Structure 1
């Protein structure tokens, strides 16, 4: 039986090629993802480990948790602690580290690096061992800065050039005193690092006389653990915590691995979708191969082969096919991993140098996935073939599915689909994250139910296309009959395309609806003409608000200033605003009370009020970070949203209690309203700063739209693999169907159907099957998009379902194109069949 199975594989090489290709694509996606993420993760881990070469023990502040009415604080690392660390037995030296966000512009005024990766820090003394200088000298005073060599290369800076940069809003223009090299992983990833002398860095980052961290180097012969123990004895352990360099490197490696794990998981989900789609193709292929060999299998049964041997022979074929697909998929995946890394370099998404990592786990996973998926898909056709009695198989009595099997299938499908719809609808009534898991379960049940019911659905849906197909005469009529002749095969072929289009349509509906909702939210909640913020979401200096107020045409501003407090023993963030102006800059719906902010009067969003059982007129005591307390009164309860929410307090009340006031955003109202000229005037007033964003409501909406578009394009790209596998399935099904119907096609040619008619018949059959899958996919996608939107609507009052009719029409057109392209080779093959040879074929 083993030799028989191998002979069958070799005899049907061409038929199995598409199956191998379908499995190979899915395996290539899986192995490519593993190779790529392992390579990047390993490169970052090696790079970060080098960054800790100069650190044997790091002394860091031990955050004091909030207790009772006291707001938690981070202890300061003073010069005294630095000196004590340097004097500790076993310590060779100690370096005080200061760091923070530093936006650096290139010569065109554009931000270098990406948001959170643009960092600044201090250069220690005349020769910092962490950052070897390759040009120039160490920075001295507020007018000098040193930059890393990668940033200097990318931005075109040299020693002596003047650079534009910003810490928290105001523009700085120091001179480049030196260029250094670094193993900092952020720089290796495309960020930037700018270093000032220690005193300047402390002043710029608001750490005058203090440090963020103290890095201690061990003396020769002293281990990291021994130095840590000595530091624990000499330093106040209630204020600081010590960590060895090895622990820091391990923690960093674990964090990198975790971050890459999330990315890897996302890519593997899409690889899984491609494999899931491929499973339909494999099952379809083996079903057809087994059906074409029923007489052969019956003869084997007649001469003594058992049912198990028949099933085993089919599984051996699947094993050979799966192994071939796994090996070729692994090789292709290694190429994909290397290509993705090169692509990141081409897109300026720099990554640290390192070898391509092909682990044993990747090899085992690729082979296991290829073999298991193929054997699993082939098991049912093999089992079905083994159950056919030999005499019935020789007489082709088995060909038609029994009424009992069809009733059982349709009943099972209806139960799955009904349960899926019920669970999804129930999930839409839940709140936020509580409904995510039920909705996912319901979606899987519904998709399975529709797949099982697809043979039943195929007849009425394809019958609806009959009037259009009649236009094509005999070829159109034959195409319709062929597409419903074997409903199960048609269902399996269409379902592969259906799954890809379900996901694509659902994501498109969600993105369009969310975009519309955010547009409504911005226009409904904000009256301000502009929102000013840092490009990376960091805090703005209060100087920015003062400069905006001094700008011609600005009538009103209000900074949004976040500050922690303790209310009833719990941490609650307050939002400081310009009490006299916030009503003119926002348009928030008031549920109760009168919207007044000033002195001891505050306004509270409805969610916070509900959680604390407050109403208009309620009073509470807020304990500020300086330890002082104040009795506040709720003047109004308003409906918050994703843009504005929380407890609003007048800045004149809040700011005196803050050690270092900083603003998250500033709302700006101008005399002339939003215009290009006004925006340009505001940007110039802030020094044309690359780190500061001045956005109108339309700009804010466009930014969000751009983000959605980027995500959608990425999803489309990843799902393209599943669609490509589905195309292969259509080609495979049609090609094997043509082989099955060779005699019939020969007879049609003999009674007058010309080659063009045969081609048209096969193409129309493919078109009908593809459109059938497209209609099902788009319908399910709209339903899932609506359901997910209903779930989001519980958290977003402005949510509104938007159906992208234009894009859905394009998706349906795309399904039609898939059908036409997939039919090119099978149609050509059918038209070229020799009439007499085909009639004589069995």
Structure 2
């Protein structure tokens, strides 16, 4: 009734299983080595990339051997379809190598998307928490780019707005110590503690002044700096003249403070626009935030379209919006994987229907109707899609879990968080691939008449 198949020998299966297991263990081992990682430096990133790549390769090698047990487990869900469900399960298991090859594209795309979704969710929450935790100011008025400026008259008008308690202007520029250029914020040591929540590991912002800097923990770690050390650095874009600076403090990473804090007057002299400030941090009386107060602040800066007036909540929301591009990238990757997987499944199912023409004819002869044949082909496709989705999601979540150590060092608020809604959507879309891919082959199989099928085989 069917063409004789040549399954791989037991020896070849054992070799493949051993090779796949070693590869998976090696990839997992590299990812486990990142458990105590303290930052996303080049070496750690390379280890993460190699670990994820080797892990996925191992899953691809093991896929034909995993297909049997996994699909038998998933096949239990098909029992409600009766004989049609049993036939779909057994047809999927007929050639595990073909099933695995068909599911690989979907597995890879699902692994990428699920892993990135978890990292995106966890990082977004951490950045939101960090932004909220690092800012005491109730409003921030800032330029839309680094070459803009908030005029000194506008700063004075902001200070005179009813309901404003403290105003602290910030000058933004860049600083280079060696080949690396990072942002530097020039602040007023007398008011900075009222508008920023700076958690110093050593030293204090009160010691800032000409020739003195405070640096973030990440910057200090990367440059091997401690409080009291002197460094040679140049402040300002294009400035190549190094000057000696003393490190007067090391603070916990703060996105509002950026990598380095300096004396405002000194940074202003070397900003993109000389003697200018780019941000004004405002503390209101009693922490008041209202539409009326925001309107008064906008009036104080003459409703300039070049300036943004944002409350702390709006700043946090803007920080979360940065992740939108990554989400678009994730679903772009999924779309590519879906397209490749759909084409692969259509091809595989078409070949399967062609090979089983006589079987389909016999099934029609013993009482299977066209609807039953279509359902059988669709369930086969769903089994393949579910297998690839399960393997890919498991690999992606494991990789994201172990890589999370890279973010812990840079963002103390980082914690592993699962985006249940996104993961559920990915699973549903992946299963929908199976249903869509089966449409044409199922229609072709159902169109075969019993006598015609037997005669054509």
Q: Structure 1 residues 750, 529: closer, same or farther in 2, change over 3 A?
A: same
Task: Verify the 8 A CA contact 1:597 1:649 in the aligned structure 2.
Answer: no
Aligned to 1:687: 302
Aligned to 1:605: 216
**C-alpha separation in 1, matches of 2:341 and 2:233:** 61
Q: Structure 1 residues 609, 821: closer, same or farther in 2, change over 3 A?
A: closer
Name the SS of the counterpart of 1:774 in structure 2.
Answer: helix
Aligned to 1:614: 226
- Tell me by how many angstroms 1:536 deviates: 2.6
Name the SS of the counterpart of 1:560 in structure 2.
Answer: strand
Q: Is 1:669 matched up with 2:280?
A: no
Q: Structure 1 residues 537, 505: closer, same or farther in 2, change over 3 A?
A: farther
Aligned to 1:547: 157
Aligned to 1:660: 274
- Tell me by how many angstroms 1:743 deviates: 1.4
- Tell me by how many angstroms 1:632 deviates: 6.1
**C-alpha separation in 2, matches of 1:500 and 1:522:** 32
- Tell me by how many angstroms 1:674 deviates: 2.8
- Tell me by how many angstroms 1:542 deviates: 4.2
Residues 582-602 of structure 1 show CA distances to partners (whole Å, capped at 9, x for unaligned) of 111111222234552466786
Task: Verify the 8 A CA contact 2:134 2:255 in the aligned structure 1.
Answer: no
Q: Indicate the structure whose relative CO is greater, using CA pairs within 8 Å and at least 6 residues apart.
A: 2
TM-score of the two chains, using structure 1 as the length reference = 0.49
Aligned to 2:31: 424
Summarize the alignment of residues 224-243 of structure 1 with structure 2, pairs less than 5 Å apart. Answer: none
Task: Verify the 8 A CA contact 1:510 1:789 in the aligned structure 2.
Answer: yes
Q: Is 1:581 matched up with 2:191?
A: yes
**C-alpha separation in 2, matches of 1:555 and 1:480:** 71
Task: Verify the 8 A CA contact 2:343 2:437 in the aligned structure 1.
Answer: yes
Name the SS of the counterpart of 1:693 in structure 2.
Answer: strand
Task: Verify the 8 A CA contact 2:183 2:258 in the aligned structure 1.
Answer: no
**C-alpha separation in 2, matches of 1:602 and 1:735:** 69
Residues 310-343 of structure 1 show CA distances to partners (whole Å, capped at 9, x for unaligned) of xxxxxxxxxxxxxxxxxxxxxxxxxxxxxxxxxx
Q: Structure 1 residues 599, 774: closer, same or farther in 2, change over 3 A?
A: closer
- Tell me by how many angstroms 1:478 deviates: 1.0
Aligned to 2:316: 701
Q: 1:748 aligns with which of 338, 363, 367?
A: 363
Summarize the alignment of residues 802-813 of structure 1 with structure 2, pairs less than 5 Å apart. Answer: 802-813=417-428
- Tell me by how many angstroms 1:681 deviates: 2.1
Q: Structure 1 residues 750, 609: closer, same or farther in 2, change over 3 A?
A: closer
Task: Verify the 8 A CA contact 2:115 2:397 in the aligned structure 1.
Answer: yes
Residue-pair matches, total = 445
Name the SS of the counterpart of 2:171 in structure 1.
Answer: strand
Name the SS of the counterpart of 1:614 in structure 2.
Answer: coil
Q: Is 1:495 matched up with 2:104?
A: yes
Name the SS of the counterpart of 2:309 in structure 1.
Answer: strand
Gapped runs of 5+ residues in structure 1?
A: 1-290, 293-395
Residues 96-136 of structure 1 show CA distances to partners (whole Å, capped at 9, x for unaligned) of xxxxxxxxxxxxxxxxxxxxxxxxxxxxxxxxxxxxxxxxx
Q: Is 1:639 matched up with 2:248?
A: no
Task: Verify the 8 A CA contact 1:622 1:632 in the aligned structure 2.
Answer: no
Q: Structure 1 residues 598, 401: closer, same or farther in 2, change over 3 A?
A: closer
Task: Verify the 8 A CA contact 1:585 1:668 in the aligned structure 2.
Answer: yes
Aligned to 1:556: 166
- Tell me by how many angstroms 1:663 deviates: 2.0
Summarize the alignment of residues 386-535 of structure 1 with structure 2, pairs less than 5 Å apart. Answer: 396=4, 399-426=6-33, 429=37, 431-535=40-144
Gapped runs of 5+ residues in structure 2?
A: none
Larger radius of gyration: 1
Summarize the alignment of residues 374-385 of structure 1 with structure 2, pairs less than 5 Å apart. Answer: none
**C-alpha separation in 2, matches of 1:835 and 1:727:** 29
Residues 558-591 of structure 1 show CA distances to partners (whole Å, capped at 9, x for unaligned) of 22224678999x9998632122221111112222
Summarize the alignment of residues 778-789 of structure 1 with structure 2, pairs less than 5 Å apart. Answer: 778-789=393-404
Aligned to 2:343: 728
Q: Structure 1 residues 631, 462: closer, same or farther in 2, change over 3 A?
A: closer
- Tell me by how many angstroms 1:509 deviates: 1.7
Q: Structure 1 residues 564, 442: closer, same or farther in 2, change over 3 A?
A: closer
**C-alpha separation in 2, matches of 1:736 and 1:490:** 12
Task: Verify the 8 A CA contact 2:185 2:257 in the aligned structure 1.
Answer: no
- Tell me by how many angstroms 1:770 deviates: 0.9
Q: Structure 1 residues 764, 628: closer, same or farther in 2, change over 3 A?
A: closer
**C-alpha separation in 2, matches of 1:526 and 1:539:** 22
Task: Verify the 8 A CA contact 1:573 1:647 in the aligned structure 2.
Answer: yes
Q: 2:201 aligns with which of 550, 572, 591?
A: 591
- Tell me by how many angstroms 1:406 deviates: 1.2
- Tell me by how many angstroms 1:752 deviates: 2.2
Residues 612-661 of structure 1 show CA distances to partners (whole Å, capped at 9, x for unaligned) of 6433x668899999999998682x43212333244534446776899921
Name the SS of the counterpart of 1:531 in structure 2.
Answer: strand
Q: Structure 1 residues 831, 800: closer, same or farther in 2, change over 3 A?
A: same
